[in-house]
Amino acid sequence: MSEKNREGKRSARERLREQREKERLRARRRRTMGVAGAVVAVLGVAAGVGMVASKSGEDSGKSGSRAVAPRGAAGTVITSGKASAKKTLTVYEDFRCPGCKQFEDVFRTTVHRLQDKGRMKVRYHLVTIIDGNMGGTGSLHAANAAACAQDAGKFRAYHDVLYKNQPRETEDAYADKSKLIKLAGKVPGLDTRTFRRCVEDGRHDGWVRKSNAAFTRSGYNSTPTILLDGKAVYGDPDKPLSPRKLKRMVAK
């Protein structure tokens, strides 16, 4: 057999051996990947269960926490003003919301006068939309503190203090309960041991969460949402609301 033929056969054998070695390596890789895939799948399932359990635990904690309504609240609504008033202003608000502060700064005096004259009552829905959008707990803690003020019969005064001292939206300053208690000192007779305990314990947190959930289901998606007798009257640039216009609408 010529040297050329022997070389050709050896090359063929080498190629065959190399091909078999490649196939063996590919098969081993497939087995390894299969095992790894199974491990990943198991870990994925475990992680999924953990996430579901964690979420379930969160939801259970929130729904399990008693929704203790503040004194005089009807469901998730705090009403300010005389019950006999013929007109009703409905306000969905968040104490961290700059737009809510703007509404309060412009309309506060007019709303108070209409309330005091018995012409209009205000139904407040306290929500936590900024906590959801920006992160933090300031909306929740401030709303709970306002509910604690409602227990003491001083909701309106403390409500106004919270807006007059509202921090910047990006600063979650109302998450600090000591700040909320300090602001209570601006309302005569509010800073009591009972109020402090109510704020510190988050007595009405569950109720605030319930109020926010009702807001989410309501179809409204921004704060402030202002309704007069059920009709939206604020936020339309083509039909701007002014204090004078609000007084005319209530007088009708």
* pLDDT tens profile 122-141: 999 999 999 999 999 999 99
pLDDT for res 246: 98
Beta pairing class for 231-232 and 225-228: antiparallel
Q: Taking 60 as the threshold, does the pLDDT of residue 144 lie above it? A: yes
At residue 59 the predicted structure's pLDDT band, cuts being 50, 70 and 90, is: very low
What is the radius of gyration, based on Cα positions, of the chain? 32
If you search the block for the tokens 């929740």, which residue do you land on? 140
CB of 102 closer than 8 Å to CB of 166: no
- The per-residue DSSP string of the chain comes to --HHHHHHHHHHHHHHHHHHHHHHHHHHHHHHHHHHHHHHHHHHHHHHHHHHHHHHHHHHHHHHS---PPTT-BTTBEEES-TT-SEEEEEEE-TT-HHHHHHHHHHHHHHHHHHHTTSEEEEEEE--HHHHHH-SSHHHHHHHHHHHHHHTT-HHHHHHHHHHTPPPTT--GGG-HHHHHHHHTTSTTT--HHHHHHHHHTTTHHHHHHHHHHHHHHT--SS-EEEETTEE-SS-TTS---HHHHHHHHH-
Evaluate whether 100 touches 131 at the Cβ level (below 8 Å): no
Q: Which of 7-21, 40-54, 141-155 holds the top average pLDDT?
A: 141-155
Q: What pLDDT sits at residue 23?
A: 57
